[in-house]
């Protein structure tokens, strides 16, 4: 029997990257003043990666490693905002609308909150949604684990997507 209601699906994403000397710290597409950045094949934007995985999860798709494999030399250093743009294109192809994103960065330092408005604007622009539909929070790991020892950062994200009714 056809369902006349729009469908909402939710996905969750998680990413982690170690710190590395000599790299910029890019979070949410914004370069944050820091003595070291995150290591990775792309710009290592842990926040954007978690968001991309959350969107792909809601779509029932494989993770970003499938679309952007770290073994592909053609995408070495790719901006994670481009990863978000391409992820949004997958959503459009599947007739889904990104309703909202909620995310949490986990790091002992640097302070993230002063950069949140700029991060929300860049993420929203890449996804084709409003900055009001992007939530970004930050917390520490209370000095526990690899994040607490300041060896790296982690991020969690949830994405809600709306699909047309089944016919």
Q: Is the pLDDT of residue 45 over 90?
A: yes
CATH number of the domain at 7-163, please? 3.30.1330.50
* Overall average pLDDT of the 74-85 stretch: 96
- How do residues 127-165 score in pLDDT, each as one tens digit? 999 999 999 999 999 999 999 999 999 999 999 999 999
User: How much is the mean pLDDT over the chain?
Assistant: 96
Q: Structural domain boundaries of the chain?
A: 7-163
Q: How far is CA 103 from the centre of its chain?
A: 8
Q: Is the pLDDT of residue 96 over 70?
A: yes
Min mean pLDDT across 86-90, 104-108, 162-166 is at: 162-166
Asked whether the beta carbons of 94 and 59 are under 8 A apart, the reply is yes
Q: Is the pLDDT of residue 1 over 60?
A: no
The pLDDT of residue 23 is 97
Of 149, 153, 151, 78, the closest CA to residue 112 belongs to: 153
Task: Express as a percent the part of the chain with pLDDT over 90.
Answer: 95
């Amino acid at each position: 029997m056809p369902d006349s209601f729009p469908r909402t699906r939710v996905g969750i994403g998680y990413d982690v990257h170690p710190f590395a000397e000599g790299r910029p710290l890019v979070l949410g597409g914004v370069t944050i003043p820091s003595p070291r950045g995150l290591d990775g094949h792309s710009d290592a934007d842990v926040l954007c990666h978690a968001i991309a995985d959350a969107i792909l999860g809601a779509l029932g798709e494989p993770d970003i490693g499938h679309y952007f494999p770290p073994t592909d030399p053609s995408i070495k250093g790719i901006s994670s905002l481009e990863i978000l743009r391409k992820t949004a294109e997958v959503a459009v192809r599947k007739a889904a609308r990104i309703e909202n994103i909620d995310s949490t960065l986990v790091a002992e330092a640097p302070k993230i909150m002063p950069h949140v408005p700029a991060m929300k604007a860049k993420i929203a622009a890449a996804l084709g949604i409003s900055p009001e539909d992007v939530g970004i929070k930050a917390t520490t790991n209370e000095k526990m684990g690899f994040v607490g020892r300041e060896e790296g950062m982690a991020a969690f994200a949830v994405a809600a997507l709306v699909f047309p009714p089944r016919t």
